[in-house]
Structure 1
Amino acid sequence: MRHPEFQYLDLMSHILEKGDKRIDRTGVGTLSTFGAMLRFDLSDGTVPILTTKKVYWKLAVKEMLWFLTGETNIRPLLQEKVRIWTDWPLAKYRKETGESISQQDFEQRIVEDQAFALKWGELGPVYGKQWRRWQDANGVEHDQIASVIETLKTNPSSRRMLFHGWNVPEIGQMALPPCHMVYQFHVTSAGRLNMLIFQRSCDLLLGAPFNCIGGAALQAMVAQQVGLQLGDLVWMGGDIHLYLNHLDQAREQMTREPRPFPTLKLLRKPDSIDGYRIEDFEVSGYDPYPPILADVAV
């Protein structure tokens, strides 16, 4: 059987060979394709953490746990040594103050100074806000995650078990509009939970590996909470791209032969989806190639 990681490498190859060269929002430029799907079977306990480069899976899981809190400030992330969201508030701070502060010093100020963090660490109504506290026109907040979990328990054949983050009136207030914007759930007659992620925009080299890990972690938590076994994780992308300053790194990654996927185990079952901590996730058998470094386009 062909290793499932080749789905990712094949998509990368397709973009390198046939991608449309475009100028993008960041000014870096991309090679882009439109529309693709990856499917991973989680039923045997494996998890799609790429092996053709080292992926820091704990960062992706911590980010997902942060989303689930409904938090929108980077301070809790930085307290957990997760720096993947710093670029946007740092760029805003530099632009508005004219201060050429280093990323390290900016992050230190966010962690040590709560008032500074409240002013400069806020990302706007991004993922967690929409997932857990979507506000309607009447000011009523809706917890989409709780609604999905309740429906999975009471009406698992429903075709309406989804949540999303594309809240049109609030997009302009977000540091970055949601990329992985729709999550849909499906329960098989055999009692397995499938989950689909639709991602409108995907940085294939840096973003997709994190999105698949975060998605798998979410699927595992939800399945445990509702008493189902894991099924397929399906990832679908809209505008999927390689930044022009990532092409050499992509070519290097494609020279590597995938190794067996690791396994993921949840070490306990909290009382609710809100009770998980990074210590609850055990990944075994992860033997990746060395990391491949690349800059994030902001």
Structure 2
Amino acid sequence: MPDTPHYEQQYLDLMRHIWRHGDERIDRTGVGTRSILGATMRFSLADDAVPLLTTKRVYWKAAAREMLWFLTGDTNIRELVRQGVHIWTDWPLDAYRKATGETIDRDAFEARIIADEGFALEWGDLGPVYGAQWVNWPRYEPAGEGLYRRAEKGHNQIAALVEAIRVTPGSRRLLFTGWNVAEVAQMALPPCHMTYQFQVSNGKLNGLLFQRSCDLGLGFAFNIFGLSMITRMLAQQCDLEPGEVVWQGGDVHLYLNHAALVEEQMSRVPSGAPKLRIKNRPSSIFDYAIEDFEVVDYAPQSHISAPVAV
């Protein structure tokens, strides 16, 4: 019998298909992409498996810190920058440069964000992105004579999800989303990994992510790790075993200026079976710390750098 293909092969096959057959188009960033609509990949989480890419190094701790940051509801880059995570800096930096005309570099901008709380409040906020919607989705309450005002405390989709998995595991409504159509225009970047859905099956928790827009060359590696991480966290909190994760992409694309990355990565052969372990079980899903997670048996090939399209 032939050997089972490495889990990463489906990713490389999708990359090759898009690069060779994708529709070449000018996108929002002006950089240009090759794109398809609709793609699906599935990955097992059995025995602590995690679908980290092995054909290039993925800085999984940055992805983990981002996921934990989302769960706090924070929307300002200051805390991420303090932790050495730079993945959200380009958007406020671009806005600052355009507004002021100052040719400040990223390091200097981040230093000001950390040192100056007022500067961070003015220039570091991303608008009501992921975390705001996940744990504080706006609710409105009567304010008299047919008027409504925004409630001080919004709806916590994550807390509600944990409760629903525990109480109604057969539900088809085990999901949360970041796509709040009323607030999309206020966001630095509308949610790309927008809707997560979960299913309990035979004592296992399966997780699915619908991603409306996926930068397959750079973003996907973080997105699939994040999906795997939160599925495992939810399973632990709800006394379930992790099952599998399903990733579904809407507009899945490769940037034209990522040619060197794409060609190099497609030439590499995936190998290895990394594992993600959670070393502690806190009292709630909101109390995990980066120290609670470890990745073992991860021996990737070298990092491949490429520019982010803003």
Alignment TM-score, normalising by the size of structure 1: 0.99
- In 2: Cα distance, 1:37 partner to 1:168 partner: 25
Secondary structure class of the residue paired with 1:274: coil
**TM superposition shift of 1:261:** 2.4
Which residue does 2:210 correspond to in 1? Answer: 198
Secondary structure class of the residue paired with 1:273: coil
Q: Structure 1, residues 168-225: CA drift from partner, whole Å, max 9, x if none?
A: 110110000000000000000x200000000000000100000011111111111111
Residue 50 of structure 1 contacts residue 261 of structure 1 at CA under 8 Å; is this kept in 2?
no
- In 2: Cα distance, 1:20 partner to 1:5 partner: 23
Which residue does 2:160 correspond to in 1? Answer: 147
Which residue does 1:270 correspond to in 2? Answer: 282
Which residues in structure 2 correspond to 1:111-260 (within 5 Å)? 111-138=114-141, 139-140=150-151, 141-188=154-201, 190-260=202-272
Which residue does 1:7 correspond to in 2? Answer: 10
Secondary structure class of the residue paired with 2:47: coil
Q: Structure 1, residues 228-281: CA drift from partner, whole Å, max 9, x if none?
A: 000011100000000000122111101111111200110000000111011100
Secondary structure class of the residue paired with 1:234: strand
Which residue does 2:301 correspond to in 1? Answer: 289
**TM superposition shift of 1:137:** 4.1
1:280 to 292, 296, 308: 292
Secondary structure class of the residue paired with 1:85: coil
Secondary structure class of the residue paired with 2:111: helix
**What is the one-letter code of the residue matched to 1:85?**
W
**What is the one-letter code of the residue matched to 1:178?**
P
Q: Structure 1, residues 68-107: CA drift from partner, whole Å, max 9, x if none?
A: 0000000000011000000000000000011111110000
Alignment TM-score, normalising by the size of structure 2: 0.95
**What is the one-letter code of the residue matched to 1:242?**
L
* Structure exhibiting the larger radius of gyration computed from Cα positions: 2
**What is the one-letter code of the residue matched to 1:236?**
Q
Residue 15 of structure 1 contacts residue 241 of structure 1 at CA under 8 Å; is this kept in 2?
yes
Q: What's the RMSD between the two structures over aligned residues?
A: 0.7
**What is the one-letter code of the residue matched to 2:280?**
R
**TM superposition shift of 1:67:** 0.4
Unaligned runs of 5+ in 1: none
1:48 to 48, 51, 56: 51
Residue 78 of structure 1 contacts residue 111 of structure 1 at CA under 8 Å; is this kept in 2?
yes
Residue 65 of structure 1 contacts residue 277 of structure 1 at CA under 8 Å; is this kept in 2?
yes
Aligned sequence identity (%) = 58
**TM superposition shift of 1:136:** 2.9
Residue 64 of structure 1 contacts residue 214 of structure 1 at CA under 8 Å; is this kept in 2?
yes
**What is the one-letter code of the residue matched to 1:164?**
T
Secondary structure class of the residue paired with 1:221: helix
Is 2:99 the counterpart of 1:96?
A: yes
- In 2: Cα distance, 1:10 partner to 1:60 partner: 24
**TM superposition shift of 1:43:** 1.4
Equivalenced residue count is 297
- In 2: Cα distance, 1:269 partner to 1:223 partner: 11
- In 2: Cα distance, 1:112 partner to 1:179 partner: 30
Task: Flag as ranges the 4+ runs of structure 1 deviating above 4 A.
Answer: none
- In 2: Cα distance, 1:112 partner to 1:220 partner: 35
- In 1: Cα distance, 2:181 partner to 2:261 partner: 35
**What is the one-letter code of the residue matched to 1:172?**
A
1:67 to 66, 70, 75: 70
- In 2: Cα distance, 1:215 partner to 1:161 partner: 14
- In 2: Cα distance, 1:226 partner to 1:121 partner: 35
Unaligned runs of 5+ in 2: 142-149
- In 1: Cα distance, 2:270 partner to 2:162 partner: 35
Is 2:90 the counterpart of 1:87?
A: yes
**TM superposition shift of 1:127:** 0.1
Residue 72 of structure 1 contacts residue 124 of structure 1 at CA under 8 Å; is this kept in 2?
yes
